[in-house]
Amino acid sequence: MAADGWYIYYGRDGEIIARHVTRVCIHESVTVIPAHAFYKNLDIEEVECHDRVKTVEEHAFCGCFSLRRVIMPGVKVVDRRAFYYCKALTDVECGKLEIIRHRAFMRCESLTIINLPSAKIVENSVFCDCTALTTISFGKELESIEDEAFGGCTSLQRITIPLKDGMLTHDIIFIGRASAVIG
């Protein structure tokens, strides 16, 4: 535990995070947050990565109900269900994120706004059932958005995407969402 109250995560096999740790800083030696690393940790509220962390593997933070804030400045890939059902998650900073895998942020019920300027590929059901999501912005790098990416996003009001042929790969991207402004 660092003097400022942050737990330093080293990514060692079998590393156990003590109960009641609420803030986690990823050590500079870690470049991949491994699968299930924080799976169903009910106490973590905040995670901060350095810019050399490139990948968050599947289920890494799945079911972390108290997780509110994630800073991932260098992460390029968020794997399947990495943040699935992080129901308190409101703040995600990931300016270099390129690939968002299947159901990565599904059921993040408190997420309202997300900016993904470097995203290239948004797989199916990535933001499915993010019922508070109102605004999402993508940059010019976006190549494709797969089916049901925003399914059940009942509060979605604005999505910003570049207009390119072949961008929307399916006609059910917004299933369960009656209307949204695309601009």
In a domain? residue 128:
yes
In a domain? residue 21:
no
- The verdict on pTM exceeding 0.75 is yes
Q: How far apart are CA 68 and CA 35, in angstroms?
A: 20
Q: Is the pLDDT of residue 181 over 50?
A: no
Which pLDDT band holds residue 44 (cuts at 50, 70, 90)? very high
In a domain? residue 19:
no
In a domain? residue 1:
no
CATH number for the domain spanning 76: value is 3.80.10.10
pLDDT value of residue 178 = 42
Q: What is the pLDDT of residues 123-153, one digit of tens each?
A: 999 999 999 999 999 999 999 888 889 999 9
Residues 6+ apart with CB under 8 A from 56: 32, 33, 72, 75, 77, 78, 79, 82, 83
- Cβ atoms 165, 143 nearer than 8 A: no
Tally of domains in the chain: 1
Q: Is the pLDDT of residue 183 over 50?
A: no
- Percentage, residues of the chain above pLDDT 70: 88
In a domain? residue 13:
no
Phi, psi of 113 (to 5 degrees): -135, 140
In a domain? residue 98:
yes
- Cβ atoms 62, 37 nearer than 8 A: no
Q: How far apart are CA 173 and CA 166, in angstroms?
A: 13
Q: Is the pLDDT of residue 180 over 50?
A: no
Q: What is the pLDDT of residues 88-109, one digit of tens each?
A: 999 999 999 999 999 999 999 9
Domain containing residue 80: 31-183
In a domain? residue 163:
yes
